[in-house]
Amino acid sequence: MRKTSTRRIEVPAMGAEDVVIDDEGFAWTGTADGSIWRVARDGAVRRVGGTGGRPLGIELYGPDRLLIADANAGLLTMSTTTGVVERLVTEVDGHRMVFCNNAAVASNGDIWFSDSSTVYPIAKWKADFVENTQTGRLLCRRADGTVEVHLDGLAFANGVALSVDESFVCVAETARRTVVRLWLSGERAGTRDLLVEDLPGYPDNIARGSDGLIWVTIASPVDPVVEAIRNRAPSVVQKVVTRVPQVLQPKPRKTVRVQAYDDAGRLVHDVDADAGSYHMVTGVREHQGEVWLGSLEEAALAVVSLPAVAV
């Protein structure tokens, strides 16, 4: 696997966490200030609106709307022309969502989405990760508005994607470094297994590309110190670690890495790009042979050409 270069496209605010590409070739992303941006290939950027929260996962949702998983505000839609926001899900079973993260839309209108934690909001995501609360969930909002919990007990539920034939939905489990698969049809309907396990780092968002593959971000390689604290340290030590000043906390190595798997869980692409000008990839979208990247830590998107990175 050789290093490949990235093309950086600036946006006017920090934390372009996820990315989706529309039929006209425009990229869409959300940033830490709550803004939603339309980004052209030539770098032209237009602010369409704001969620009032912290937009994370972003999907196309019909001809004039985006679906936005907002960590603070819940599951939303936004008009791509007017910026008007509609709230779809803010509560589950009478309790406000704490950490809405990512989503995928089925052809019948069902929305599968993740809630990373029922304990800690996004501002304290490291605490949830280190303390290993295992309160993440995979949920579904049916076309009639009904909301169902299908998986719980996940170790930081993150990205969500459907298979090509929608026979299963999968969710990245960041802390366990797996992609969990829930079967929706066929003989295994209602059961779960793993599409991928033992990833080379901690997955964030995942997305099905135009190539039919499920693309998985590797936000950071495995950190032995973090693993030791999570798996072996007493809970009191875990809590103390999360209260250490930010400047003294372990820092993830700067990397740019994403992988692509087919619906059988076979690795097809492994992208390892130069992290000199971009790092901590949290969003990925393959579109017509290019791989678009988002990052929680960057005021930019990045693009990698796919032919150079086939396994």
pLDDT per residue as tens digits for the range 127-152: 888 888 999 999 999 999 999 999 99
pLDDT at 223: 74
pLDDT at 252: 60
**Choice between 239 and 117, residue whose per-residue pLDDT is larger:** 117
- Tell me: pLDDT of 233 over 80: no
- Tell me: pLDDT of 237 over 90: no
Which amino acid is present at 223? D
- Tell me: pLDDT of 226 over 80: no
Q: Nearest CA to 217 among 164, 163, 161? A: 161
pLDDT at 224: 61
- Tell me: pLDDT of 1 over 70: no
pLDDT at 247: 42
Q: Nearest CA to 116 among 73, 156, 154, 150? A: 156
Which residues are registered as beta bridge partners of 183? 168
Residue 208 structure tokens: 């099905």
pLDDT digits (tens, 9 = 90+) for 246-279: 443 455 667 899 999 999 999 999 999 888 889 9
- Tell me: pLDDT of 227 over 70: no
Percent of the chain with pLDDT over 70: 88
- Tell me: pLDDT of 102 over 70: yes
pTM over 0.75: yes
Distance CA 101, CA 78 (A): 16
What crossing angle do the helices spanning 235-242 and 224-232 adopt, rounded to 10°? 140
- Tell me: pLDDT of 244 over 80: no
- Tell me: pLDDT of 207 over 50: yes
pLDDT at 236: 44
Percent of the chain with pLDDT over 90: 79
Which amino acid is present at 5? S
pLDDT digits (tens, 9 = 90+) for 74-89: 999 999 999 999 999 9
pLDDT at 195: 98
pLDDT digits (tens, 9 = 90+) for 56-76: 999 999 889 999 999 999 999
**CATH for the stretch 3-309:** 2.120.10.30
